[in-house]
Amino acid sequence: MKNKKINEGAKVMKKKRLFREIVDLLQENEQTQEWLIDKVRAIMKQNGDRVFSNLLNVFTHLDIEPKEAEIIWTDILKHRREMSETLGRPVGLRVGMLDYFIAVNKQMRNPKIIEIEMFEKLEKSLITDELTGLYNKRFFSETLYREIQRAKRYRLDLSIMLVDIDDFKKCNELKGRAFGDKVLRRFAESIKAGLREVDYPCRFENDKFAIILPETRGLKAVKAAERLRTNIAKVNFLPEEDYYLTVSAGVASFGIDGSTPEGVVENADTALLSAKNDGKNRAYVFFREKREFSRSAADWEILYKIVDETTVKTAKMKNVGGGGLLFEHEKPIPISSILDITIKLPLKKKKISAQAKVVRLEVKESGAFDIGIFFTKITPEDQKMIIKYSKQE
């Protein structure tokens, strides 16, 4: 009985080593899609005699008996190692597998290289938008969920950007659907050209696109959106007629603007809608400001410094209300920064001191930044005075 348990344990260990070797070989191949590695890992979790049969079926679509399938896998890996030694360079798992079926295991009449390619094409079609070549909405949803889990596990930054072509409906109406499709393809090329390799550009719906930005948040995400916006504005989509388009963008970051995939997408969409409503051709980051107080235009001078820093700077407001204010500055201030501010009221020697949080950051055409702040500490008396004087402006 004891020897039987030892033998069973040895078999289990052998299977685990075999699985690990297969996955490691897939990860060495840069052309191997993550979905394939995930599929193999899922099969690894299965119990029962058909595990190796299922695994072999993923690659070749062949249905092989369990005992024979395990032997074949062992032989494939051995054959791949021998090929690597003979050629003096690493040989991929699938290349070694196909050569094995051609040169060693000749019981198969037709090697399944064609079927494997068709399998990859089919899988690619399931995650790719046919018109633009970008990832599709299904891929976006699955990848965003996976990236959020990774961000949680390793405490990484993560943002998403939603981009919408301004007045694209008019483009279709004036130039026709064929030209509209051409614009979308050219637009997709422009998106890919301006992103990092680690980013995921997706066609979300119609003329709206979504981009997953791993290890990015706040100011970096806003700059990426602004860079994309300015690049698109330079593209002449119809040179013979000097036909240009603009886009609006909304950005939201995981952890700051939402803790679920749905929450981050919803808030990025809110930022995008704000950009549209404020005149289009602009990039906004999501901010949650409870407008309990109305805002009035104002050009009062303010002094501010970031908490825990010593440098005091001056700026001029653009608008103000009982809940906060907006001012322009030549440099950005990161979202969620806490500021100590002093407001100089017009025609009055009194100065109001308060503390505020940066809730909005927008890049302007001039290269300056609009900074929106929300009061976190202010006395009721000072708040009333701000409301009073803002109404007089």
Whether 290 maps to a domain, the answer reads no
Kindly state whether residues 39 and 120 are assigned to the same domain: yes
Amino acid symbol at 69:
A
How many structural domains compose the chain? Answer: 3
Residue where one domain finishes, among candidates 109, 127, 145: 127
The 3-class secondary structure across 294-313, one letter per residue, is CCEECCCEEEEEECCCCCCE
For residue range 232-265, list pLDDT tens digits in order. 989 888 788 788 889 999 998 888 778 889 999 9
Question: CATH code at 252?
Answer: 3.30.70.270
Kindly state whether residues 108 and 147 are assigned to the same domain: no
Whether 354 maps to a domain, the answer reads yes
Domain that holds residue 38: 2-127
102 SS3 class = helix
For residue range 51-73, list pLDDT tens digits in order. 777 777 767 766 778 788 888 88
Higher pLDDT, 337 or 34: 337
What's the confidence (pLDDT) of residue 16?
A: 65
For residue range 168-215, list pLDDT tens digits in order. 888 888 888 888 898 899 999 989 888 888 899 999 988 999 999 998
Whether 153 maps to a domain, the answer reads yes
Residue 125 Cα to chain centre, angstroms: 20
Whether 182 maps to a domain, the answer reads yes
Residue where one domain finishes, among candidates 127, 160, 175: 127
In sequence order, what are the residues at sequence separation of 6 or more whose Cβ sits closer than 8 angstroms to the Cβ of residue 137?
Answer: 202, 203, 204, 205, 210
Kindly state whether residues 233 and 269 are assigned to the same domain: yes
Q: What is the CA radius of gyration of the chain?
A: 29
Kindly state whether residues 375 and 356 are assigned to the same domain: yes
- Residue 246 has phi, psi (to 5 degrees) of -125, 165
Question: CATH code at 381?
Answer: 2.40.10.220
Whether 112 maps to a domain, the answer reads yes
Whether 291 maps to a domain, the answer reads no
Kindly state whether residues 109 and 6 are assigned to the same domain: yes
Kindly state whether residues 155 and 111 are assigned to the same domain: no
Whether 120 maps to a domain, the answer reads yes
Mean confidence (pLDDT) of the chain: 79
Residue bearing tokens 């204010």:
325
Q: What are the structure tokens assigned to 163, written together? A: 């981009």
Task: State which H helix or E strand residue 208 sits in.
Answer: strand 208-214
- Average the pLDDT over each of 145-149, 247-251, 331-335 and give the range with the smallest value: 331-335
Kindly state whether residues 222 and 314 are assigned to the same domain: no
Residue where one domain finishes, among candidates 107, 127, 147: 127
End-to-end CA distance of the chain: 93
Bridge-based pairing of strands 200-205 and 208-214 is: antiparallel
Kindly state whether residues 275 and 300 are assigned to the same domain: no
What's the confidence (pLDDT) of residue 44?
A: 60
Kindly state whether residues 98 and 162 are assigned to the same domain: no
Kindly state whether residues 79 and 108 are assigned to the same domain: yes
Kindly state whether residues 223 and 161 are assigned to the same domain: yes
For residue range 134-144, list pLDDT tens digits in order. 988 888 988 89
pLDDT tier at 113 (50, 70, 90 boundaries)? very low
In this structure, how many other beta carbons lie within 10 angstroms of the beta carbon of residue 300? 20
pLDDT of residue 11 exceeding 80 = no
Helices (H), the chain: 2-28, 34-44, 51-60, 66-87, 93-99, 113-127, 137-154, 168-175, 177-193, 218-233, 261-277, 380-392
Whether 132 maps to a domain, the answer reads no
Kindly state whether residues 77 and 174 are assigned to the same domain: no
Q: What is the mean pLDDT of residues 354-364?
A: 82
What's the predicted TM-score (pTM) here?
A: 0.52
